[in-house]
């Protein structure tokens, strides 16, 4: 039986915030065999693939009033995450080459940043790296990158307002 850590992000969502970083922080804090029970104001479908790539299965159910409960359970045989590992799908903590292409998408409204990044990946060759600056964490982009076979890393810059995502073309594990 899985021991679940509960995380309720409904107050963050209702306040107009973005809970992705809080969710990833909770996932990183899980001990082996622990799962995450998430409460949200919508069915967080993009998160299913993101956490699936981290070795979790999910079971979602609507609990009333449009709210959802999702239990993320470590998959049988999933590899253990290293303590402090980045919760982003990437090929390893190896050194990535310098970015072959850079995009500044901070002044664009959604979904234009995602459209531009995906279009840029189509013009690049395997192994090249794309660097993109955004004004928020692109949670809907991550499943698309994984589906297309690309690895990615991302995080907020020291200013706390700029999110940089690095995409390695065709390098998904």
- Per-residue model confidence as pLDDT tens digits over 117-126: 999 999 999 9
Using CA atoms, how far residue 9 sits from 5, 45, 70, 79, 154, in Å, is 13, 15, 12, 27, 21
Non-local CB neighbours of 132 within 8 Å, separated by 6+ positions: 102, 103, 104, 105, 113, 116, 117, 120, 164, 165, 167
Q: What tokens were used for 12?
A: 């963050």
Q: Would the pLDDT of 17 be above 60?
A: yes
Torsion region of 114: left, alpha or beta (phi above 0 gives left; psi -120 to 50 gives alpha): alpha
Q: What is the mean pLDDT of residues 18-33?
A: 87
Q: What pLDDT, on the 0 to 100 scale, is given for residue 89?
A: 46
Q: What tokens were used for 91?
A: 């090929």
Calculate the CA dihedral of residues 28, 36, 166, 19 and round it to 10 degrees.
-110
Fold agreement between 3-74 and 101-168: yes
CATH of 101-168, one of 3.30.110.40, 2.40.10.340, 3.40.50.450, 3.40.50.2300: 3.30.110.40
Q: pLDDT averaged over the chain? A: 84
CATH class of the region 3-74: alpha beta
User: Sorting pLDDT into bands at 50, 70 and 90, what band is 173?
Assistant: low
Q: Hey, is 25 helix, strand or coil?
A: helix
Using one digit for the tens of pLDDT, what is the confidence trace for 67-83? 999 999 987 654 444 33
Q: What tokens were used for 156?
A: 């907020």
Domain residue extents for the chain: 3-74, 101-168
H or E stretch covering 48: helix 45-52
Q: What is the CA radius of gyration of the chain?
A: 16
The percentage of the chain sitting over the pLDDT mark of 90, rounded to a whole number, equals 46
């Amino acid at each position: 039986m899985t021991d679940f850590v509960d995380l309720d992000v409904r107050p963050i969502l209702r306040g107009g915030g973005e809970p992705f970083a809080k969710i990833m922080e909770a996932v990183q804090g899980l001990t082996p065999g622990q799962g995450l029970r998430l409460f949200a104001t919508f069915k967080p479908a993009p998160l299913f693939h993101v956490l699936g790539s981290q070795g979790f299965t999910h079971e979602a159910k609507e609990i009333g009033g449009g709210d959802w409960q999702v239990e993320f359970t470590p998959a049988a045989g999933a590899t253990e995450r290293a303590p402090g590992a980045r919760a982003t799908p990437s090929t390893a903590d190896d050194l990535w080459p310098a970015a072959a292409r850079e995009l500044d998408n901070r002044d664009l409204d959604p979904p234009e940043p995602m459209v531009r990044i995906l279009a840029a990946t189509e013009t690049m060759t395997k192994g090249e790296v794309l660097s993109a600056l955004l004004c928020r964490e692109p949670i809907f982009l991550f499943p698309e990158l994984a589906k297309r076979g690309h690895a990615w890393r991302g995080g907020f810059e020291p200013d706390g307002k700029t999110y940089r995502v690095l995409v390695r073309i065709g390098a998904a594990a």
